[in-house]
Structure 1
Amino acid sequence: MFFIGIFGVDNKQKEIKVLNNVHCRNCDKGLGGKLIKTFNFFHFFFIPLFRWNEKYYVLCSSCNSIYEINKEKGKRIERGEDVEVTYWDLKPIETESNKEDYLVETRCKHCGEVVEPKFEYCPYCGTKIK
């Protein structure tokens, strides 16, 4: 967040919708995922005036892989249109440093419990996470 007196520039992440039947490119399960929108905005007294750099991502609910999708397709889903997200629409986010910028919860692949990203072993079942 950057402030200039009563003005500021900030970034935000917003969960748009839970998508069903999205087939993950990593785990190849059709369990679905979350559509997440990220954007930067300029505000005056915490009232957003305009946005830029809008991007849409799908977060797999099974393995927490993150994929970027086309901006136009993301906007159509956000407007409530019935749009199918296919395997070919999902563009993987490659680097670990990029993944830390998004709403990612780490889940144990063995028991499915949510664990902190810094854990190497699951505190619930003892399985190695990384």
Structure 2
Amino acid sequence: MFFIGVFGIENKNEEIVTLNNLSCKRCNKAIDGKLIKNFDFFHFFFIPLFKWNETYYITCESCNMLYNISKEKGKAIEKGEDVNITYWDLQEMENDFYNDDYSSKDICPTCGLSLDKSFKYCPNCGQHIK
């Protein structure tokens, strides 16, 4: 959302790192998963000034299941600390939140902006949405 084009509030998904040897509850096997940070931020002339509502998710690269993890573990991984993510740390997301598939939602594959279903091009970067 923009106010006068100079400053505004936006929501963003940021891929942090790919984690190895996670145990997916749906696949029931060891997989790689992407750690994704979702947050709201206030910006002034496209410079982010502060963030809030930070949440961390892991997506299974095999079945695209989306799992929520604790904010403490997500921040520790983001800082580069060696954190062990267990089967019990992965909390399945509600089906209506991301429709079980992070990659099938209307999110720009280039910049990560959440998009309306009617968009054919990303208004942020101009990427064609398939």
Q: Where does structure 1 lack aligned partners over 5 or more consecutive residues? A: 107-130
State the TM-score, normalizing by the size of structure 2: 0.75
Q: Structure 1 pair 84/105, CA: closer, same or farther in 2 (3 Å)?
A: farther
Aligned counterpart, 1:115: none
Q: SS where residue 74 of structure 1 aligns?
A: helix
CA distance in 1, matches of 2:72, 2:53: 13
For 1:94 and 1:39, how far apart are their aligned partners in 2? 18
Q: 2:81 matched to which residue of 1?
A: 81
Asked whether the 8 Å contact 2:18–2:34 carries over to 1, the reply is yes
CA contact (8 A) 1:13 1:103 kept: no
Contact kept? 1:19, 1:32, Cα under 8 Å: yes
Structure with the greater alpha carbon radius of gyration: 1
Q: Which residue of 1 aligns with 2:103?
A: 104
Structure 1 residue 102: Cα displacement: 7.4
Q: TM-score by structure 1 length?
A: 0.75
Aligned to 1:69: 69
Is the Cα contact below 8 Å between 2:65 and 2:101 reproduced in 1? no
The share of aligned pairs that are identical, in percent, is 56
Conserved 8 A contact 1:54-1:71: yes
